[in-house]
């Protein structure tokens, strides 16, 4: 066992206790010196979680000097055996603790933007910077391309983007110019010869004097593979500075791990975008204009892509076919099944739309014959705008909501099973007679499921949101649908990439 001196042991244990109580970065902020060093080799604050560490040397005492004699200069006492090794071990333990906590924070991020922000904050703490930016520009050209700043407003990022790309450190990295594989340090921009005049002007305007940039390249892609590069991250110093060897090593380890995590989130983001695009392309590009009614639709796609759909199509005799539905499952297969089911329903609606029960019966037979392992819920209505009437049939679907100035109530529909669940589906239809200015709101079950509440409470929340809509919003079906979404799904639950698909189709009678 190493003979660690009492003073060193107490110092390390005290700081480790501080890390456990308040977190590594919080402990560093508490113990950090006030003010900014004029260079990275300026005196450092005490060791806290691997940031600019120095273990204080133990104090020594000398024997008292007899009166009348001049004291001689005491010789430097020899270092205790193993003191250097003890300091190094303490530093390594502290560095590992730092990296562990920072990577844990990064791992907890599940969205690409949040991970980029965490990367900037952690890297700034490791290299001793205050501001920075990350430029996401995947080398395969498939996107998404974005720039996110730390301590920089959108206008500041705009100023930086006016500098010629080849004059910026991250531009040299992204363009694959020589010298950018391991990072680009610019310790003193204003002392650098040949600095682009526009870069000098922007740096002076934003108040930074040095920068340090590193590439974001997953290890699986290889450091020289530009196609596998995700982007670059830059940290900015207010005064001339550059990371020392230890900081360079720590931030290099962290960025390599962050690049792998970002690569996974990037693929997830691309999948979400592709599924949302595919789902949107299978839905109506625009709603028809039919005299006597106003239409509005809202669609939110889940992260894996779901099978919720809506439709509104003109029918003979100035009628209108209205439909909402949901296919079981998620992912590409559910989206494809939704497209097939919606296309079939449109064909049946054109042929026999005045009988909604017949339309859903034909749809159920098709589903049972072609996709026996799948089920679906659906609601189809034959709307006659001139009579302000909707003849409606439902298969395992939630009832519509009728919203007016004097009433807000759910339409009573017959209890029925979803399509594909029984050997033969059939249920009676119902009629909705609306007053001028009233709106019929059709929706899918995802609106209720996203609340995370029981079915009864979710229905009550929906009813309260619709009943509390201001009078002005009731004149616009789109504004009314937005109001319902915001109130039924508050605090970001109505986000486009939520847990489940959500569809609202609002029909307002004039």
Mean model confidence pLDDT for the chain: 82
CB 215 within 8 A of CB 181: yes
Q: pLDDT band for 414, please (50, 70, 90 cuts).
A: confident
Q: pLDDT band for 90, please (50, 70, 90 cuts).
A: confident
Burial class of residue 10 (count of CB atoms within 10 Å of its CB; 0-12, 13-18, 19+): exposed
At 302-349, the pLDDT tens digits run: 766 678 999 999 999 999 999 999 998 877 888 888 999 999 999 999
Ordered alpha helix ranges (H), 298-437: 332-352, 356-370
What is the C-alpha to C-alpha distance for residues 224 and 173, in angstroms, rounded to an integer?
Answer: 11
Predicted pLDDT at 103: 93
At 260-280, the pLDDT tens digits run: 999 999 998 888 888 777 777
CB 487 within 8 A of CB 465: yes
CB 399 within 8 A of CB 411: yes
Nearest by Cα to 248 from 324, 187, 329:
187
CB 24 within 8 A of CB 47: no
Ordered alpha helix ranges (H), 322-402: 332-352, 356-370
Q: 253 is written with which tokens?
A: 């380890």
Higher pLDDT, residue 301 or 311: 311
Give the distance between the most distant pair of CA atoms in the chain: 123
CB 154 within 8 A of CB 260: no
**Helices 24-31 + 6-22 axis angle, to 10:** 120
CB 168 within 8 A of CB 135: no
- For residue 45, pLDDT beyond 90: no
At 197-234, the pLDDT tens digits run: 999 999 999 999 999 999 999 987 655 556 688 999 99
Q: State the CATH class of domain 111-268.
A: alpha beta
- Does the pTM exceed 0.75? no
What is the C-alpha to C-alpha distance for residues 310 and 322, in angstroms, rounded to an integer?
Answer: 8
Average pLDDT estimate for 292-308: 85
- Each as own residue / partner, the long-range contacts of residues 119-123 (CB below 8 Å, 24 or more positions apart, any chain) are 119/233, 119/255, 119/258, 119/262, 120/148, 120/149, 120/150, 120/233, 120/235, 121/25, 121/150, 122/25, 122/254, 122/258, 123/233, 123/235, 123/251, 123/254, 123/255
Helices (H) and strands (E) in the chain, counts: 13, 15
In CATH terms, 282-509 corresponds, of 3.60.40.10, 1.10.443.10, 1.10.3720.10, 3.30.530.20, to 3.60.40.10
Nearest by Cα to 447 from 383, 375, 395, 398:
398
What is the C-alpha to C-alpha distance for residues 306 and 300, in angstroms, rounded to an integer?
Answer: 10
**Helices 477-488 + 455-467 axis angle, to 10:** 140
Predicted pLDDT at 94: 86
What is the C-alpha to C-alpha distance for residues 318 and 437, in angstroms, rounded to an integer?
Answer: 19
Task: Please report, rounded to a whole number, the percentage of residues in the chain having pLDDT higher than 70.
Answer: 79
**Helices 24-31 + 112-127 axis angle, to 10:** 40
Please report the sign of the dihedral spanned by the C-alpha atoms of residue 483, residue 488, residue 489, residue 495. negative
Non-local CB neighbours of 203 within 8 Å, separated by 6+ positions = 189, 190, 209
Q: Are strands 401-403 and 439-443 parallel, antiparallel or unpaired?
A: antiparallel
Please report the sign of the dihedral spanned by the C-alpha atoms of residue 217, residue 221, residue 223, residue 226. negative
Q: Which helix (H) or strand (E) holds 310?
A: strand 306-315
Please report the sign of the dihedral spanned by the C-alpha atoms of residue 279, residue 351, residue 377, residue 433. positive
In the chain, what are the domain boundaries?
7-53+87-108, 111-268, 282-509
Q: 433 is written with which tokens?
A: 């007679």
Q: pLDDT band for 415, please (50, 70, 90 cuts).
A: confident
In this predicted structure, which of 40-49, 235-244, 292-301, 451-460 has the lowest mean pLDDT? 40-49
CB 391 within 8 A of CB 429: yes
What is the C-alpha to C-alpha distance for residues 405 and 403, in angstroms, rounded to an integer?
Answer: 7
Q: pLDDT band for 75, please (50, 70, 90 cuts).
A: low
Higher pLDDT, residue 391 or 3: 391
Q: 267 is written with which tokens?
A: 């693929």
What is the C-alpha to C-alpha distance for residues 170 and 183, in angstroms, rounded to an integer?
Answer: 9
């Amino acid at each position: 066992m190493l003979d660690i001196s009492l003073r060193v042991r107490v110092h390390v244990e005290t700081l480790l206790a501080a890390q456990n109580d308040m977190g590594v970065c919080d402990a560093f902020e508490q113990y950090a010196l006030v003010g900014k060093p004029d260079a990275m080799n300026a005196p450092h604050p005490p060791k806290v979680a691997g940031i600019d560490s120095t273990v204080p040397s133990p104090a020594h005492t000398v024997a008292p000097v007899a009166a009348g004699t001049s004291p001689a200069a005491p010789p430097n006492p020899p270092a205790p055996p193993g003191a250097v090794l003890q300091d190094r071990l303490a530093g390594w333990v502290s560095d590992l603790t730092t990296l562990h906590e920072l990577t844990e924070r990064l791992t907890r991020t599940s969205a690409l933007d949040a991970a980029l922000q965490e990367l900037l904050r952690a890297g700034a703490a490791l290299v001793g910077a205050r501001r920075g930016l990350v430029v996401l520009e995947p080398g395969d050209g498939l996107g998404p391309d974005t720039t996110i700043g730390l301590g920089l407003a959108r206008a500041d990022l705009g100023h930086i983007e006016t500098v010629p790309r080849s004059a910026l450190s991250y531009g040299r990295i992204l363009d694959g110019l020589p010298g950018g594989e391991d990072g680009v340090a610019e310790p003193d921009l204003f002392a650098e010869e040949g600095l682009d005049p526009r870069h000098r002007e922007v740096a002076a305007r934003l108040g930074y004097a040095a920068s340090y940039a590193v590439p974001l390249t997953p290890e699986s892609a290889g450091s020289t593979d530009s196609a596998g590069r995700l982007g670059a991250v830059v940290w900015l110093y207010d005064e001339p500075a550059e990371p020392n060897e230890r900081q360079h090593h720590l931030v290099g380890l962290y960025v390599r791990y962050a690049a792998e995590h970002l690569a996974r989130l990037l693929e997830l983001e691309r999948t979400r975008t592709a599924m949302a695009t595919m789902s949107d392309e299978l839905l109506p590009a625009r709603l028809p204009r039919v005299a006597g009614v106003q239409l509005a639709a809202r669609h939110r796609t889940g992260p894996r892509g779901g099978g919720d759909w809506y439709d509104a199509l003109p029918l003979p005799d100035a009628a209108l076919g209205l439909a909402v539905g949901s296919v079981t499952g998620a992912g590409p297969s559910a989206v494809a099944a939704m497209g097939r089911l919606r296309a079939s329903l449109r064909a049946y609606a054109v042929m026999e739309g005045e009988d909604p029960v017949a339309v859903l019966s034909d749809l159920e037979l098709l589903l049972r014959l072609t996709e026996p392992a799948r089920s679906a819920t659906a609601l189809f209505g034959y709307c006659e705008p001139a009579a302000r009437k909707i003849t409606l049939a439902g298969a395992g679907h939630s009832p519509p909501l009728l919203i007016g100035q004097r009433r807000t109530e759910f339409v009573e529909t017959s209890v029925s099973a979803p399509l594909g669940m029984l050997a033969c589906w059939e249920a009676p239809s119902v009629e909705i007679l609306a007053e001028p200015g009233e709106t019929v709101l059709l929706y899918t079950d995802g609106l209720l499921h996203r609340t995370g509440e029981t079915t009864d409470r979710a229905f009550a929340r929906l009813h309260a949101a619709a009943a509390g809509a201001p009078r002005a919003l009731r004149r616009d079906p789109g504004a009314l649908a937005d109001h319902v979404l915001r109130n039924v799904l508050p605090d970001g639950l109505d986000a486009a990439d939520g847990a489940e698909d959500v569809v609202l189709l609002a029909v307002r009678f004039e």
